[in-house]
Structure 1
């Protein structure tokens, strides 16, 4: 005697597992760029509301400009205020 409900339940469970496994990789994407090889400086810019941006560069001014550009992009995407982006931290390592 076969069990039609058991095979249906197994197929449903398998489908849900595959669907969840496919969605789980989306949350692990980094929001900030990783430093390029040889980049000594970084800067972080934030808006008054929304997400800010972090960037690396060979010089402090490049890192600051990239950080502001990222801040404007991320603040716009997150419903924040891109016009209020300001660099709040900028450093170079030795």
Structure 2
């Protein structure tokens, strides 16, 4: 009799474990990857965009215009270097504050 009980338990244990695993994975996969950008722009009124002569530039938000400019320059240097561009030529081309 004990062998029969063990088989009955193992017959439902594996499907339950699999269902729990899938439920946990589904919960994690629904998180948005852009949440950090949305939360950063909630309290930030100023933004700036910096572009290099070749490669990818960077857009950044900040509480003040100078912070936004500095962040966009840092992003431009980082992204231009990764994309095979020229990080030394980064310049802020747009900087504004919203009302």
TM-score band (shorter)? 0.5 to 0.7
Larger Rg: 2
Which of 42, 48, 55 is equivalent to 2:47?
42
TM-score, length-scaled by structure 1? 0.64
Q: Is the deviation greater in 66-75 or in 33-42?
A: 33-42
SS of match in other structure, 2:37: coil
Point out where structure 1 has 5 or more consecutive residues left out of the alignment: 1-28
Matches within 5 A, 1:78-93: 78-93=83-98
Cα-Cα RMSD: 1.6
Q: Distance in 2 between matches of 1:80 and 1:64?
A: 20
Q: Distance in 2 between matches of 1:54 and 1:40?
A: 13
User: After the TM superposition, which segments of 4 or more aligned residues of structure 1 sit over 6 Å from their partners?
Assistant: none
TM-score, length-scaled by structure 2? 0.61
SS of match in other structure, 2:56: coil
Render the CA deviation track for 1:10-57: whole Å, top value 9, x for unaligned. Answer: xxxxxxxxxxxxxxxxxxx77xx7251210000000000000000000
Point out where structure 2 has 5 or more consecutive residues left out of the alignment: 1-32
